[in-house]
């Protein structure tokens, strides 16, 4: 069974940093592209960043202005999001989500974690 479990969320002061993790199991992690998506309270979904299975290709939302950095450790079956210069508007649930390109068509975000809440407040 595919499982994605996020961790690392919590309360952080404005201007602070936080690193989120996503532990993957139930599939060959290194083969799959991964993403981070967030959802502010009562709002819609916002895609943040993508990383290919090898880690060599990365895309991120321009709105982040380089404050967030996606990475992965395939040996540890883990995805990360390093967040810097956090602002109140970064308060959201952060999800990791898998892309699936296993030969049955490219399915974006076919599996999601349960999310981890990040609250930016003084």
Partner 1 sequence: EIVLTQSPATLSLSPGERATLSCRASQSISSYLAWYHQKPGQAPRLLIYDASSRATGVPARFSGSGSGTDFTLTISSLEPEDFAFYYCQQRNYWPRTFGQGTKLEIK
Rule CB under 8 A: say whether 113 interacts with partner 1: yes
CB of 27 to partner 1, least distance (A): 13
Q: Which residue from 27, 30, 79 is spatially nearest to 53, judged by alpha carbons?
A: 30
| Two tokens, residue 30 | 């290194």
Stretch that binds partner 1, among 7-15, 16-24, 75-83, 105-113 (CB under 8 A): 105-113
Which two structure tokens, joined as six digits, stand for 93?
Answer: 């649930």
**Residue 73 CB neighbour total at 10 angstroms:** 13
Q: Restricting to residues 53-92, name those near partner 1 by CB under 8 A.
A: 59-62
Percentage helix, strand, coil for the chain under 3-state DSSP, each rounded to 5? 10, 50, 40
Subset of 12-41 contacting partner 1 (CB under 8 A)? 35
Per the CB < 8 A criterion, the answer to whether 89 and 38 are in contact is no
With CB under 8 A as the rule, give the number of residues binding partner 1: 21
Applying CB under 8 A, the span of 19-27, 44-52, 73-81, 84-92 interacting with partner 1 comes to: 44-52
Q: Does 109 bind partner 1 (CB under 8 A)?
A: yes
Question: Which residue shows structure tokens 């399915």?
Answer: 107
Q: Which residues bind partner 1 (CB under 8 A)?
A: 35, 44-47, 50, 59-62, 95, 105-110, 112-115
């Amino acid at each position: 069974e595919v499982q994605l479990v996020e961790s690392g969320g919590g309360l952080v002061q404005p201007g602070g940093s936080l690193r989120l993790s996503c532990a993957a199991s139930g599939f060959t992690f290194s083969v799959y592209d991964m993403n981070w998506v967030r959802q502010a309270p009562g709002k819609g979904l916002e895609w943040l960043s993508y990383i290919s299975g090898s880690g060599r290709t990365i895309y991120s939302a321009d709105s982040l202005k380089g404050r967030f950095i996606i990475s992965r450790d395939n040996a540890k079956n883990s995805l990360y999001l390093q967040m810097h210069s956090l602002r109140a508007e970064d308060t959201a649930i952060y999800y990791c989500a898998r892309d699936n390109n296993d030969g049955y068509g490219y399915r974006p975000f076919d599996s999601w974690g349960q999310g981890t809440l990040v609250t930016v407040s003084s």
